[in-house]
Amino acid sequence: MDTFLTETIKYLGTISPEILLVLGFLICMVFILISFRYFGSYGLVCYSVVAVVIANLQVLKLGVFSFINEPVALGTIVFTTLFTTSDLITEHYGAKLAKKTIYLTFLVQVFVMLSMLVVIAHPEVDAHTSDVQTGLQTLFTPSLRILVASIISFMISQNIDISIFAYFKNLHGKNLLWFRGNVSTLISGIIDTFIFSILAWIILSPTPIAFTTVLVGFIGFSQGVRMLVSILSTPLLYLSYRLKDKDHEI
């Protein structure tokens, strides 16, 4: 039992990075479906809050893929699904709740950072806690830079996404759901990727990454993945009308 996760990671390590990306996307879609089907708006809000925390941890690790020469920041898949959940919330529960979710994710991010700083500040007990301390510091010490870049880009892009989606919904009603979903995600995704990448990896970074690397490996690749995820998520928007449970609304 104690080695199960370690062995699972070893097995997953034998799979190509491209397949791992697909697996990550499928995991997100499954949990969004379950959250929406059984918990409605509560589930989508909770997924959004947790996904932001996870994505900001995943983005600290770089991945290498066969179809691109530059290293790529992971976490793009999880973060892109936030635009899907925002669209779902806006579609079924309105732009007001979708925007409230943005501010809740901000609050939770600040809470995670502050609570982890207190834990990291506790003195080490033995060699085991020393290893844990190193791991926690690796994950959460640089999070202020990531947090600031994430908050700024997330707040701006999510508000733009919700506004565009709500505008077209008011214009078309229930029609052209695929159009408003993809257009809002495409425009807001470009803005989010650009702002976050420039802030996190160049302006606020103590060791700035070359602009070319950021442009190709972070902005270019991330936006390509976002567009693909947005397109693949479109059936979920239509499926949501069959899954919606009116008993679970905020």
Is residue 232 assigned to a domain? yes
Is residue 223 assigned to a domain? yes
Is residue 107 assigned to a domain? yes
Which CATH number goes with the domain that contains 104? 1.10.1760
| Count of CB atoms situated within 10 Å of the CB of 188 | 24
Residues 6+ apart with CB under 8 A from 112: 53, 143
Cα(189)–Cα(195) distance, integer angstroms: 10
pLDDT in tens, the chain (250 residues): 668 888 898 998 899 988 998 899 999 999 999 999 999 999 999 999 999 889 888 888 888 877 777 677 788 889 889 999 999 999 999 999 999 999 999 899 889 888 988 988 888 777 667 788 888 888 887 667 777 887 898 899 999 999 999 999 999 988 999 999 999 988 998 898 889 888 888 888 888 887 777 776 667 777 777 788 889 899 999 999 988 866 666 6
Residue in this structure with the two tokens 């510091």, named with its chain if needed: 137
Q: Which domain holds residue 178?
A: 15-243
Give how many domains the chain has, as a whole number: 1
Q: Phi/psi of residue 63, each to 5°?
A: -120, 155
Burial class (CB in 10 A: 0-12, 13-18, 19+), 64: exposed
Q: Confirm if 200 and 149 have CB atoms less than 8 A apart.
A: yes
Is residue 9 assigned to a domain? no
Is residue 188 assigned to a domain? yes
Q: Phi/psi of residue 188, each to 5°?
A: -70, -30
Is residue 216 assigned to a domain? yes
